[in-house]
Amino acid sequence: MEQEARPDPITEAALRSLKDIAVPPPVSWMPQTWGWLALALILLAAILLWALVLYRRWRRNAYRREALRLLDEIAGDFRNQQTCDDASARLGELLKRTALAAWPRNTIAALSGDDWIGFLSANQGSEIGSSLKGYLDDLEYRGDATPSADATDLLRDARRWIERHHVSA
């Protein structure tokens, strides 16, 4: 039989007087200084300002989105032989309406011919496509005749102008 090991009375008294280790409270994740709070407020203000700028840009470009939607309808009309002449006239109207939405009426309304083509080129930032230029010349002198240029090139150039024209602030 095994004998139980018993500690001496002094060791027993020492073991009874032991206490658990005191653990410090956990470190807070909240900012400890005013600097972190200031940084958080500045960051929040910058994000809100950025969101406001994006929202205002989105609102300012509503006329572009509408013009691109109408351009898609016109593209469908170009594919149909019966509505091709009507689509041709509507394309010229769409470009003029888009310009009227972005610039003052007194600047745009009287433009025609070479002045209109020059205006479109100047505000795109680069020369407008030759198919669009030829179409606008044809529209000026032949009315609502079917464009001489390929419809896909014409629609591509019109889409490029609607998407890329620059309106100064």
pLDDT for 121 equals 83
Would 22 be classed as within a structural domain? no
pLDDT in tens, the chain (169 residues): 567 777 788 888 888 888 888 899 888 777 677 888 899 999 999 999 999 999 999 999 999 999 999 999 988 888 877 777 788 788 888 989 999 998 888 888 888 888 888 888 888 766 777 777 777 777 666 655 555 557 788 888 889 888 888 777 5
Longest CA–CA span in the chain (Å) reads 123
Residue 128 CA to residue 109 CA, distance in Å, equals: 20
- For Cα atoms 50, 51, 54, give the angle at the middle one, nearest 5 degrees: 85
Would 80 be classed as within a structural domain? yes
Would 75 be classed as within a structural domain? yes
Q: At what angle do helices 113-124 and 151-164 cross, to 10 degrees?
A: 60
Residue 116 CA to residue 111 CA, distance in Å, equals: 5
pLDDT for 70 equals 94
Would 95 be classed as within a structural domain? yes
Burial class of residue 140, CB neighbours in 10 A (0-12, 13-18, 19+): middle
Total tally of structural domains belonging to the chain: 1
Identify the domain containing residue 95 by its residue range.
62-164
Count the Cβ atoms, other than its own, within 10 Å of residue 142: 12
